[in-house]
Structure 1
Amino acid sequence: MTAFSRISKWFFYLILLPATIGVCGWQGWAWWSWASAPVASEQEVSPTADGTVQLQIPPGSTAQEIGENLKAIGLIRSTTAWNLWTRWETLRDRNGSFQAGTYEISPTEALSDIAGKIWSGSIVERSFTIPEGWSIREMAIYFENQGFFSAEEFVAATEQIPTEAFPWLSPDLPHLEGFLYPDTYKVAEDTSPTAIVNQMLARFEQVALPIYEQGQAQTPYSFLEWVTLASIVEKETVIDDERPEIAGVFARRLRDGIPLGADPTVEYALGIRQTEDQPLTFAQVRIPSPYNTYINAGLPPTPIASPGVSSLEVSLEPPDTDYLYFVARYDGTHVFSRTLAEHEAAQAAIHDGRSAQSESRSETTN
């Protein structure tokens, strides 16, 4: 054995000896079990439905502060035992540390299990799902209804453009509409609107950005135009098989300088959603707005919703089509037409069919 090895060996014993003596001096594992067991707390604790306690560890909390909080709410008996575990874990994992966040802890958990949970960062998480085609307004209402935070807080967060973290975002954007990728996410229980926005932007960067980078040389659209077109295609498409044809119609209209005439852009401008019983009126589609694609040629200034990957892909280089028009049947499908005369005939047929169905329902109820 070399001199260095002997020194290293004795140095290890000097570190381990105090901990070993301490455990033995405290009457071994029987004492450790007593120190780990929970006790009644003098503080008021709000347990969850299954009896567990939610504990908030603020950022920057020291190991001693965490131990004192655990003892105060009755989850451990001894801060001395806690400090011993902390010293040993620090020696074993020098790169590790206790993690901030919200934790669910059962009163029956042992001290070592509680410490391990906080050391590894096993925080309370919850999930949320944003469907393709949702706007920021719809997301904001959803988060408020789910108890995350207020709709106003979320909208305010989306009006901050984090170009330092995501340099592909234009600093001139008024908001992040279209760039919050629709998906299912897991977040900390006490997450903030900004954290969620950044998580969704990171997902867009991961999924959507490579699509544009790979096809940028072939597409006629700028990055913003591409996402904007994809958002309109997303809102218009119900049946997936029709997505390429819808994108093709819009692409042809853009090339020919014909207004897109997309209902979802008017709905976005007015903050409404039309239904079969309450379709957009002629007066509504004549209301001036930068987003009204009935009276303005070209694309609106920003996306109108969050497109999914299918709409993003098909909008990068839309297929050629003979069609210039389409009209919804209100069953998810559309009638595509080559000429204005065909389009007007299709509109009339759909209108007559809806009127006949309405009369039939009226006669049945009477």
Structure 2
Amino acid sequence: MKKFGCLLLAIVGLAAAIGAGALIFPWYGGGTVVEDRTFLVPSGSSLTSVAGKLEEEGIVSSADGFLFRAKILGGSEPIKAGEFLLPAGASPAQILETFQNGDVIRRAVTIPEGTPSILVYEKLMAEPLLTGEIEVPEEGSVLPETYDYERGESRAAVLARMQAAMDETLAELWANRSEDIAVDTPREALILASIVEKETGLPEERRMVAGVMSNRVETNMMLGADATTIYPITKGKPLGRRIRVSELRDPNPYNTRAIAGLPIGPITNPGREAIAAVLDPADTDALYYVADGSGGHVFARTLAEHNENVRKWREFRRREGI
């Protein structure tokens, strides 16, 4: 009888071990993910709906089995919404841990300095992993930067972050502006910075160009920036041809070759450094500049000096066959 009792206990123990193995091994053992892949947990998902989605996508063999073991063996933390990377061979336990504590995959969209709003709009609309519609943002309202986003995030949400970044940057830089600058408001600073952004692509020239433009604003000279002539024609896109004489003479509120002072609004989205240059311009007497043939500009105090620099620039163009 004693032997029988021991045998019975052994049988019960073996059955319990087999049962525990049947419960535990499928949870912690290797999964069915054969290669690294991504999985999206939609916002507002329950563990039940995620289990069903895992089965539908062939990541687990049974939604019911995954859910049952998750409730017994898994952690108590809630799952997060977002897109996750599931490595090859990930077990159900690893998958649940990823949804609970793993990093959400974030992608990025970059807006280069001097990108006009029509191109910001087109760039966001071309991102296939974003959702929803947006309007073309107000010119000058977006801070050129790199912004991360999640799959399925709305374009409106990403654009709102871009515009909030511009508001914060402009407020910060305005609060630390130099004395006796040529602009009276943050809006004017944004407008002038958009011109500086278009006038030079060299970081080391920004403050000097800002100094020249500031001098012109203060003396009520025409700013004479071709980009302001082009803007109402193309909304910031490349013109693709030479500017016509009629366009240069058109006294529209953007054309600084026909009107004195600042244009009516920004002509692009300036970067942080262009705004900073306008709010701390170079201390210079220069009123003119022209391209020097090397990607930069040569600056002049007087019209006579400027005309000589223009002559040299034209001679360079003829020599180079431009």
TM range (shorter): 0.7 to 0.9
For 1:134, what is the secondary structure of its paired residue?
coil
Report the counterpart of residue 131 of structure 1 in structure 2. Answer: 112
Q: Does 1:189 align with 2:154?
A: no
- Residues 107-131 of structure 1: CA distance to partner in whole angstroms, max 9, x if unpaired? 6211121112222363332222222
**Unaligned 5+ runs, structure 1:** 1-23, 41-49, 160-174, 360-366
Structure 2 counterpart of 1:299, one-letter code = L
TM-score by length of 2: 0.80
Q: Distance in 2 between matches of 1:137 and 1:329?
A: 31
* Aligned pairs for 1:220-299 within 5 A: 220-271=183-234, 272-273=237-238, 278-299=241-262
Q: Does 1:116 align with 2:97?
A: yes
Q: Distance in 1 between matches of 2:46 and 2:288?
A: 65
**Unaligned 5+ runs, structure 2:** 1-15
Report the counterpart of residue 11 of structure 2 in structure 1. Answer: none
Q: Does 1:32 align with 2:24?
A: yes
Deviation at 1:188, TM superposition (A): 1.0
Q: Distance in 2 between matches of 1:83 and 1:218?
A: 71
**Count of equivalent residues:** 302
Q: Distance in 1 between matches of 2:24 and 2:59?
A: 14
Aligned residue among 70, 93, 98 for 2:79: 98
Deviation at 1:354, TM superposition (A): 0.7
Q: Distance in 2 between matches of 1:28 and 1:218?
A: 79
Q: Is the 8 A contact 2:130 2:151 kept in 1?
A: no
Q: 1:295 to 1:84 in 2, by over 3 A?
A: same
Q: 1:209 to 1:87 in 2, by over 3 A?
A: farther
Q: Percent identical across equivalent pairs?
A: 27
Q: 1:82 to 1:260 in 2, by over 3 A?
A: same
Deviation at 1:88, TM superposition (A): 6.3
For 2:290, what is the secondary structure of its paired residue?
strand
Report the counterpart of residue 121 of structure 2 in structure 1. Answer: 140
Deviation at 1:74, TM superposition (A): 2.2
Report the counterpart of residue 67 of structure 2 in structure 1. Answer: 82
Deviation at 1:205, TM superposition (A): 4.3
Q: Is the 8 A contact 1:38 1:74 kept in 2?
A: no
Q: Distance in 2 between matches of 1:307 and 1:26?
A: 68
Q: Distance in 1 between matches of 2:22 and 2:73?
A: 19
Q: Is the 8 A contact 2:124 2:155 kept in 1?
A: no
Structure 2 counterpart of 1:241, one-letter code = E
Q: Distance in 1 between matches of 2:24 and 2:168?
A: 48
Q: Is the 8 A contact 2:36 2:86 kept in 1?
A: yes
Structure 2 counterpart of 1:250, one-letter code = M
Deviation at 1:250, TM superposition (A): 0.9
RMSD: 3.2
TM-score by length of 1: 0.71
Report the counterpart of residue 17 of structure 1 in structure 2. Answer: none
Q: Distance in 2 between matches of 1:214 and 1:138?
A: 30
Q: Distance in 2 between matches of 1:88 and 1:298?
A: 71
For 1:283, what is the secondary structure of its paired residue?
helix
